[in-house]
Structures are given as structure tokens and as C-alpha cells.
Amino acid sequence: MRSFDYRCSMREITREVLKTKLDHKEDFKLVMVMPKETYEAMHIPGSIYVESIEDGIGKLHKEDEIVVYCTGRPCRNSEVAYRFLEARGYPKIYYYAGGLPDWQAAGYPLEGRLAKTTTPK
């Protein structure tokens, strides 16, 4: 029996494209879907925090371009958020699969009490 990887139908965004969007101050919502403690410890600059997409949907509008992320695989919070928004008719959603670990591995800027100050790449 073959398993179905439901991620294949999600629109993914790479860290390079995300970094470019942030550097150019493009108008989009970067949403970290994690507990507040995780967000406060470390997040990508410009992120908004939602612990659950059901509670955070009031911060988002259907016309928004939205990028969801979490702490990368095996965390599935951003995948769940993507599917939740998709089911409610949000047309411009992107999934950053690598999430926080991928961003950190690239040496890109981070915010939060555990974020180390590094020279941005």
C-alpha cells in the first residue's frame, strides 16, 4: 500500500525566496505557528505569533499573502495551519517546510531571547 504525502500539493517557499521578500519589505504575513514560549525564545524577524491557527485567524485576511512556518519537520503545526487556511478559501498561502532550523542553519537573522547576534548573510 502506498502512502500519500499530502505536502506535495502545498505551495512551498524556500528560505532564499523568503529572505528576499523580507529584505525587500514585501507586503505579506509571516506566521509562526508554535507555543508562545517557542516564539519568545526564537523566531524569524517580522513574524507574527499564533499558537493555533484557529485562534490566530483574526490576524489574517483573505487578501493577505501568508507564509506559515514552525520548527521544521517533524513539527506539523504549519502544515495544519496551511490546510486550515486553504479549506477556508485563503488563496495566497505558502509553506516554509524547513522552518526555523533551516533559517538558522543559513545564518539568517533571528529574534528572541535565545537568538544569537550574527552578521546577516
Q: What predicted TM-score, i.e. pTM, was given to this entire model?
A: 0.88
Q: Is residue 118 part of a domain?
A: no
Domain span at 33: 28-105
Q: What is the mean pLDDT of residues 76-98?
A: 96
- Does residue 60 form part of some domain? yes
What is the residue whose three cell numbers read 546577516? 120
The total number of structural domains that make up the chain: 1
Residue 68 lies in a domain: yes
More confident: 23 or 55: 23
Q: Is residue 82 part of a domain?
A: yes
Q: Looking at the domain assignment, is residue 88 inside a domain? A: yes
Task: Give the pLDDT band of residue 3 (cuts 50, 70, 90).
Answer: very low
Q: Show Cβ contacts of residue 106 under 8 Å, excluding neighbours closer than 6 positions.
A: 15, 19, 121
| High-pLDDT (> 70) share of the chain, % | 89
pLDDT at res. 119: 45
pLDDT of 92: 97
Q: What pLDDT, in 10s, does the model give residues 73-85?
A: 889 999 999 999 9
* Three-state secondary structure readout of 46-65: CEEEECCHHHHHHHCCCCCC
Q: Write the CATH number for 54.
A: 3.40.250.10
Sign of CA dihedral 21, 24, 25, 27: negative
Alpha carbon separation from 23 to 26, 46, 74, 82, 99 (Å, rounded): 8, 11, 28, 24, 17
Domain assignment of residue 117, yes or no = no
pLDDT digits (tens, 9 = 90+) for 7-52: 458 999 999 999 999 999 999 999 999 999 999 999 999 999 999 9
Any domain includes 57: yes
pLDDT at 8: 56
Task: Please report, as a single letter, which amino acid is at residue 30.
Answer: L
Mean pLDDT in residue range 61-73:
95
